[in-house]
Structure 1
Amino acid sequence: MKKFSFLLIFSLLLFTACKKDHVDATTTKTLQSSINDMTASLPTIQQIKFNEALYILKTFGVEADGDVAELKALGQLIDGKKVPEIMTMADQVAQKNGIEWASTAPPSLGEMNIFGSEAAKETDPNDVKANSLSITTRPAGDDGLGAPTSIQIVPRLVDNTGKPVSFTGAGLEATLEVFSNGVKLLTAKNLMQDNNFKGFNLKFSSIPAAKVMDNKIDITVSVKTTAKTFKMTKVGLDVNPDLLKVPAAPKVDSLAVPEDPAVIDPNNPNATVPSVSADPNATGPATVPAAPKQPTADPKTTVAGFLNNVSAQNLKAAYNAASNPTWGSYESFANPTSGFGSIKNVSVKNMTTNASNANSASVNATYDVTDKSGKTTALKVTFGLKNVNGDWKISSYRINP
């Protein structure tokens, strides 16, 4: 019996030791296995955010055509990386591509699984029912002479009467392809999270002039839902030839500007350049800007009030206690499926102030969140706060392991 118990314990230890905390992209199988191990080690909400981050990187962080090629390129990109590194990479890719997504924001892209099937789930926000895709285009920008500098391209999913369908909380992959005379010039991607999608702003300066025929381009936009990919093409769009991308002229070396000798004098390495007043008639000392008004309240009070308002579903008050751009609009913040509107109750266990000065503060909070389906998740969250006119406002939100 003792021998059996020893073998059982040894097997469990061996199984635990085999779990990976970093990506192993040796093969597709090891890639999936290592990502599954990493996902399983995270709290529920972080699992969702991790899957969203992988989707962001697979869709926008690599240059490849087709799911298999994208998956292989993703593996090469994140091989050896751990969860925090992958989250940071996804933040950078989202920011670079103008995507309203952040690793510290609430889940917002539905159920993402880069390995999973395309079958619709009962609550799949990406299973949008539509009949077709429509595209509207309009000139945008002004070069100072009344000519446009770009084209705004806005796709809409519509029903069989041509009316836009209503949906929210999705993460539909939208792709723009630009052609001229049948030659592809460029590709851009974005996420359509609802049918108020702003679309693509195609700058003329991004289109290579040498490949444009007759100053006209064709565009194709595709939007991928769970069940179907919708496509629409528009041909013969005019471009401003004066603003198209042309190769940069060779740079000509200019005369070097001499540096201040006081700065480069090896015998006087610590010398500094004296400041010169912009006003030659000034006689007094420079005006010192007034110090910002310092908050008198404890930053924990702001966080506690925020969590109490979320628990009571007084979401407007909770939103007003924050100044966090990653939470987006109030509608996004209060979304009943992907935002704080999905929360039924918050039970705070502990709260401590990490650091605080006149301009910023950090508060750690441990609490249980119960969603409207009755599922409870334990969270450890770090709230960042900033001083806004003497009041503490929540400016960042990070879920800790």
Structure 2
Amino acid sequence: MKLTLFWFRRDLRLEDNTALNAAMNSSRNVLPLFIFDDNILEELPDNDPRVNFIYDTLSSINQRLSKTQSSILILKGKPKEVWKKLIKTYDISSVYINRDYEQYAIERDENVAQLLVENGIEMLDFKDQVIHEKSEVMKADGSPYTIFTPYKNKWLKQYMPTPILPEVAYQKFHKEQFTFPKLEDLGFKTSTIRVKPFSLENLYQYEETRNFPSLDTTSYLSPHLRFGTISIRQIIALLKNEDNVFLSELIWREFFMQILFHYPKVVIQNFRSKYDGIQWLNNESDFEKWCNGQTGYPLVDAGMRELNATGYMHNRVRMVTAGFLCKHLLIDWRWGEAYFAKKLLDYELSSNNGNWQWAAGTGCDAAPYFRIFNPIEQLKKFDKDRTYIKKWIPELDSLSYCDPIIEHKQARTRALETYKSGINN
């Protein structure tokens, strides 16, 4: 019996899933598939909380499918090798996927598509994780935007609300009960760090409360958006108007995605090559203190301890900690980006890279190099009652709390001199 295969990736839901909905409208029954990709997994610790979240989400979907004698086929390996076996096992008529825009994903999908075509199988791909993808919001001359505000204005001008697709009809799923693997069978352990449920109610007060980490009023939406447990369309449909500040954050996400697509060099290079001459100090002892939340600057330390303990860090605090690493300590933004990539539950290459280059002053539409956050003043403005820092630094008011790693004024002067002498005009 010929089958349609739907390949879950960054779209772990049954509602408002573009490619899955299209697969269900094909003439064949649909076999849902997820591949735990060894190319990605081999770089992760065996208790990675993001793998736990993917696993738990798939398990939840599988339980829903099992009520109609269907299930997800869970496999592990290098994708192309997995697909070679699938082609031998099943009579596949077509494969449906939602597009992914990171370089590894693009190459992976091209390789799998080529294999499928060689075997007479069609791969159909769809836009799903964004409103406007790679080349849909462009300047009048056809070149990509590198400044956010005109990109946002064009994005909004082009935006058209789309109907939310209903949950798919379960009877179209292929009837076969696969054994759902244990986490240990995949080579992973249960993590103590968990992804929190998202709170859409907090979106409505986002503008008023977004800069105050102690309020804990963020939506916790970002890992869910990253792995597609809710669609971007569902989120935007819940926002009240186009002036919504949270919508701007979602547009920043798509801005950085198209930057990564059009300028893939940013993964390892400065977007603005004029900063290639910066002589980073890259002191390993200073970096370790920053990683462990032991710089003597409470807002920086609280943020890093929150990240290490929970996989989350408040957005305002992310800006302060990133700016501190690059400008106070003169450590290459790539070091900080790699550390965040290991720890953040919502890690997404384009946003992580874009925001780190923004903080360092080396990116497109970045903060100017002479804009240097004063972490002491930031603390006074955004945690004046010291609630947030006391939560994460129990020894804060004792002699055991570390002295500042460097004096702010001295660090600022050093950063300005280093950046100025490193700029290639």
Q: Which has the higher contact order (CA 8 A, sep 6+)?
A: 2
Could you say which structure has the higher strand fraction? 1
TM class by smaller structure: under 0.3
Which is higher, the Rg of structure 1 or of structure 2? 1
Per the normalisation by structure 2, the TM-score is 0.23
Could you say which structure has the higher helix fraction? 2
